[in-house]
Chains A and B, each alone.
Chain A
Amino acid sequence: MHGETDMNEGGPSGRFAPSASPLVHPHVVTERSPATTSDLSFRASAAKALGDVQLRANFRRAMDGLMAKRAAQFPDPGDLQELRDLGTAVRARSLLRLPELLEQLEASCSRNGIQVHWAETCDQANALILGLLQAKGATRLVKGKSMVSEEMHLNAFLESHGIESLESDLGEYIIQLDHETPSHIIMPAIHKNKGQIARQFSQKIKDAKYTEDVDELTALARKVLRQKFLEADAGLSGVNFAVAETGTLCLVENEGNGRMSTHVPPLHIAVMGLEKVVARLEDVAPLYALLTRSATGQPVSTYFNLISGPRAEGEKDGPREVHLVILDNGRSRIYGDPQLQATLRCIRCGACMNHCPVYTRVGGHAYEAVYPGPIGKILTPQMEGVGLRHDLIHGSSLCGACSEVCPVEIPIPDILVRLRREATHADAGSKVAGKGTGRTAAEDLAWRAWAAVLKRPGLYRFSVWFATRFRRFIPGGLPLLKAWTMSRTKPLPAPRSLQERLRSEGLPRV
């Protein structure tokens, strides 16, 4: 788990303790990485997480709460389905017109005084942002929450160039103090409980007294952050929705830190994945309604910022300059596949992880990825390579709890099956990163043998006869059986199969 290994080594050097050493994240892939599957093991990191009783309790309690809150927001299944249909249609329609809408967004933003920059890779996006900051001589950046900036590993990059990059979202602030990565895309510090945060604050915030009172803890962070907002040379934020027609950047948040980051410092830089664009302001309404309800079970968020440009002549506040960095990082490749394109409908609500029986048990860090949970399971392999992430793609029972709650109806289990296909087959015409690189001779042979038996009823009948006759003598050391019996007894075939009984006795007669 990267949160506990490489990130913890840079010791805290001050209150905000940016990691002392430049951090090269193992999963930043700009060129195809030569790493092999053995470098990343969901199975191993999940097994480790499963052994952490406190972690499991924290996640279970938190996810139970989130599921209940979401359910309370959608009391009527018919109304919910209507809203989901609308949200899905908006996102699908936006993607259909994506190239056109992005051009329109650029034109509208430019008209509003927002300078638009394009980055194909995370490296390019980082360099662009560094350039913007250096041009202003900025050394102190405050950040609103942004998963795209996590994708870019922006904090580590800026710190390696001598720029303080401070997270101002409370959850992000908490994990930054411990040099951790988010364990959830909406609630980044959800893996920690109150007591853990209380201890951390008392140790890492100057003059902080130990308290487990949530309001007091929040006030502690607020006091520190308030000063930082006033001192910052620049602010950075993500974008929830970008409106092509009006050139408006929408930012959904609860703490006001998003507004502070984007309005107090003289320079505001927004970063977004290129899929975030919608055509019109009206498109935002259903997506917003779905986002807050699905994410945290709120009918509305405390703040909803509509950013439409820098401070105009005669205005008394707002940034002097606003920039928008639009990142690709593999998205246009995903876009090029008609089935996989649905991945880009995501509005990053996190409901899939809140409802996922796997995520609930292992937590976000076990995924060794920026985006954990079901959406991460389909997004990460498409960004980094399906072969490299083969065991992650298989780390799902395909139960469908994710797609059942997804506000934009992304068929995550179907996409997982498709990615399993891509990992093991290099189909002509497929654009999927790393296609075919997860193929092994053993698995190949296993499925061929499976089909060879099951397409021949005679062979099947013999196999079943064999299994029933020797049912008590199946060796437990067989690899699959060994895995199965870690938690279970050996499965015992019946003494005679259904088909054997029907053949000898004939059909029953009622």
Chain B
Amino acid sequence: MNAPKPTKAYFYGTCLVDLFFPDAGMAGIQLLQRAGVEVVFPEGQTCCGQPAYNCGFFEEARAVARTQIALFPEDLPVILPSGSCAGMMKHHYPDLFRGQPEEAAALAFSARVYELTQFLVDVLEVRLEDLGQPVKVTWHSSCHALRDLGLKGQPQALIGQLAHVELAPLARERECCGFGGTFSVRHPEISGAMSCDKAADALATGAEVVLSTDGGCLLNVKGVLEAQAAPMRVQHIAEFLWERTHAR
């Protein structure tokens, strides 16, 4: 007998979705609502703290993370439209708060964190009905979704439910797109070379759109594709799924 499905959950927007991909945030909320989940979006959200953490500025990361944990007091799942931020909150908060007064609270919080597609597939077991026109897409796994968070094909499973969507895999699907947060500006030459290769890989699939769970990767690949005036869009998986499955 399966555990009863949750009927209420928090949504954490993430700073990149907030600023660059608000439609993806809206779509994520709607996908959850349609699956019968009451979504709570607490005020006061900023950033998970990952940029400072990854650069070793732990006090600064903690100062921000502390304010964010406090926004989610109830014992409800916390859903993020990002594998990277979810990985930070789920797997790095325990390190960040080790030995700190908030350690217990941070651990309890981390245990409730899910990436959106992970929650849709593993917990809500959603079934999607494709209402869109035939389209060919390709999929970029964000490294943090794949390796920090340990996503195991949930996004591809959701895409696979869409009858009119052809998924053309990248030749190097598991390779980093070159974003890496501050890496992209501290080592712009290496990052740029990786990003251009990723864009070329995506273009070679002949897909119309490249999908991902992560705003950072999307922003990066979008920037390269635009700089090359390449005929390809990027889209957040949440926005893509919602667009194709809701009756207008």
Query: With A399-B143, A401-B175 as given contacts, are A497 and B189 in contact (CB-CB < 8 Å)?
Result: no
State whether A397 and B185 are in contact (beta carbons under 8 Å apart), knowing that A404-B147, A493-B19, A494-B22 are contacts in the complex.
no
- B194 part of interface (Cβ distance < 8 Å): yes
**Given A417-B53, A420-B55, A480-B185, also A487-B19 (CB < 8 A):** no
Chain B residues with CB under 8 Å of A404's CB are 147
Question: Which residues on the B side are within 8 Å of A397 (C-beta)?
Answer: 143, 176, 178-181, 183-184, 191, 194
| Chain A residues with CB under 8 A of B63 | 451, 455
Interface bits B35-65 vs A (CB < 8 Å: 1, else 0): 0000101011111010111111111110110
Complex alpha-carbon distance, A455 and B185, angstroms = 24
Q: How large is the interface on B (under 10, 10 to 19, 20 to 34, 35 or more residues)?
A: 35 or more
Tell which of B22, B41, B227 touches A487, judged by Cβ atoms closer than 8 Å: B227
Q: Which residues of chain B are within 8 angstroms of A507 by Cβ–Cβ distance?
A: 29, 39, 41
Q: Which of A42-50, A102-110, A202-210, A270-278 contacts B (4 or more CB under 8 A)?
A: A42-50
Q: Is A93 among interface residues, defined by CB-CB distance under 8 A?
A: no
A70 to chain B, nearest CB (A): 14
Among A397, A401, A418, A496: residue with most chain B CB under 10 A: A397
- Is A135's CB within 8 Å of the partner chain B? no
> Any chain B CB within 8 A of the CB of A12?
no
Interchain CB contact under 8 A, B33 and A501:
no
Known pairs A489-B227, A510-B34; A499 contacts B45 (CB<8 A): yes
Whether A483 is near chain B, meaning CB under 8 Å from some CB there, is: yes
Asked, given contacts A357-B178, A493-B19, whether A417 binds B54 with beta carbons under 8 Å apart, the answer is: yes
The chain A residue sitting closest to B196, CB to CB, is A487
Q: How far is the CA of A156 from the CA of B216 in the complex (A)?
A: 46
Complex Cα gap A497–B46 (Å): 12
A362 to B54, CA, bound (A): 23
> How many A-B pairs fall under 8 Å by CB?
204
Stretch at the interface among A136-144, A178-186, A239-247, A460-468: A460-468
The interface bits of chain B over 172-209 (1 if a CB of A lies within 8 angstroms of the residue's CB, else 0) are 00111011111111111111111111000000000000
A509 at the interface (CB under 8 A from B): yes
How far is B20's CA from A496's CA once the two chains are assembled, in angstroms?
9
What is the CA–CA distance of A467 and B143 in the complex, to the nearest angstrom?
28
- CB of B223 within 8 Å of the partner chain: yes
CB neighbours (8 Å) of A42 from chain B are 187
Nearest chain-B residue to A497 (Cβ)? B18
The smallest beta-carbon distance between A37 and chain B, in angstroms, is 13
- The CA of A509 and the CA of B175, in the complex, are separated in Å by 38
What 0/1 readout, one digit per residue, does chain B (213-248) give for beta carbons within 8 Å of chain A?
Answer: 000000110111011000000000000000000100
Min C-beta distance of A66 to chain B, whole Å: 15
Contact B18 A424 (CB under 8 A): no
Are the C-beta atoms of B196 and A401 separated by less than 8 Å?
Answer: no
CA distance A479 to B189 in the complex (A): 14
Bits for B148-185, please: 1 = Cβ < 8 Å to A, else 0: 10000000000000000000000000111011111111
Residues on B with C-beta less than 8 A from A480 are: 185
- Chain B CB within 8 A of A450 CB: yes
Interface residues of B in 1-49 (CB under 8 A from A): 13, 15, 17-23, 25-26, 29-30, 33-34, 39, 41, 43-47, 49
Taking the complex as formed, is B100 at the interface, i.e. its CB lies under 8 A from any CB of chain A?
no
Interface residues of A (CB under 8 A from B): 42-43, 46-47, 50, 357-358, 361-362, 391, 394-401, 403-404, 414, 417-425, 443, 447-448, 450-451, 453-455, 457, 460, 464, 467-468, 480, 483-494, 496-499, 501-502, 507-510
Besides the known contacts A397-B191, A399-B175, 16 further A-B residue pairs in the complex with CB atoms under 8 A apart: A43-B190, A357-B175, A357-B194, A397-B183, A401-B143, A420-B55, A454-B47, A457-B46, A460-B47, A487-B192, A488-B224, A489-B226, A489-B227, A494-B21, A498-B18, A499-B18
